[in-house]
Amino acid sequence: MKLYLTGKPCSQQRHCYYVECSSVSFIVDCGYQRCYPHDELPHLTNEQIRSARYLFLTHSHENQSGALRHLLSSGFSGQVVMTAETAQQLPHPVDEPIILEGLSLPYTETELPGGLHLIWGRSGHCCGSAWFRIRDGEKSMLFSGDYYPAARIHATDAIKGIRADVAVLDCDYGTQSADTRDEQLDTLVSAVSEAIADGRPVLLPVPTYGRGLGIMACIAERLPDVDLFADEHLRRELSQLDATAMWVQPEASQLLAGMFVRPIPEEFVALGVYLISDPQLDRPESLVLLRQLLICGARVFMTGTVETGTYASTLVHSGHARILRYAIHCTQEEMLAVARQNDFKKIIAYRSDYAPRQSVYVI
């Protein structure tokens, strides 16, 4: 097997991996990254795109799947392997995908045409997110996606007791200490509480899938008297919990089902916490709401990565927004804890001491 790192070297912001095997070739993820002007797409050659028999998608976030349309227009004619939930979340349909839930159960190895053997499990990052162990003969690779074993909301199938020659592991938070997780959450809750007590509404831009449910659950649990407002997408995600039950932890599902989340009012600004599924503030309607809230003295808290060149970045650098992280990725410490539970000969973990030193690995 030969592994090509075709995303951004030494960065986890644009995932894409091309793998040559003895009989077939495949791609894992195809991220798009808007903060790299004129270099947003993976560094895949047209030959690699056309030769790949499979594209394995760990989940639907843009930095994992955003270049899918580019691959299709560049000659990819293989099959996309993903969960049914990920397929529903993609902005455009995919013809004849291989749906993991219909293929096998988590932890159960199954063979794909061409001789690849696949094991998969839930990664805890968002509804539909998965990790993969892919074997070709005696050689194997594990791709964790954005695996997060400490997930508060989404269900995980632990990466444990698995052998792989190479493991590409999530380590997006690098060398920061995992001990700060509770402190980070306390800081976010305190900031929200202080703003509301001061009569100021709060705006929280969040990803389309994933972090928003966790933040809503946290605020509902720790600040039960604070009114929650959310856009149509997030409210729809809440209303579909029964359909996505396998992706949410049972205790979290009960908490989320008991929450009352109001639609965002159009004619006035009410005191409360507003969540919108637009993490970089790209959409015109988000900016309209932002201006209405800022006029009323709102506080804006960014809970994830703020990408260069976005309006969210402008807001932070101008002092009109603060970054208060809500953790959904592994630190190096947590990544190494995962590695110790498995038999990995080689680890590739961006933003860590195990970041790649080359762009091609022969196994």
Q: Answer yes or no: do 316 and 348 share one domain.
A: no
CATH code where residue 270 lies: 3.40.50.10890
Q: What is the pLDDT of residue 8?
A: 63
Residues 7 and 126 in one domain: yes
- Is the same domain home to 148 and 253? no
Residues 155 and 110 in one domain: yes
The verdict on 91 and 191 lying in the same domain is no
The verdict on 265 and 303 lying in the same domain is: yes
What are the distances in angstroms from CA 324 to CA 162, 188, 191, 204, 329?
Answer: 35, 6, 9, 10, 14
**Residue 195 is part of which domain span?**
179-323
Q: Which residues of the chain have pLDDT under 50?
A: 9-10, 12
pLDDT number for residue 178: 64
Q: Are residues 23 and 46 in the same domain?
A: yes
Cα→Cα distances 239→154, 218, 219, 222, 242, Å: 16, 18, 18, 22, 8
Q: Are residues 37 and 130 in the same domain?
A: yes
What is the value of pTM for the model shown?
0.94
- Predicted confidence at residue 313, as pLDDT, reads 94
The domain total for the chain is 2
Looking at the structure, tell me whether residues 346 and 314 fall in a common domain. no
- Considering the domain architecture, whether residues 293 and 243 belong to the same structural domain is answered as yes
Query: Are both 222 and 268 inside the same structural domain?
Result: yes
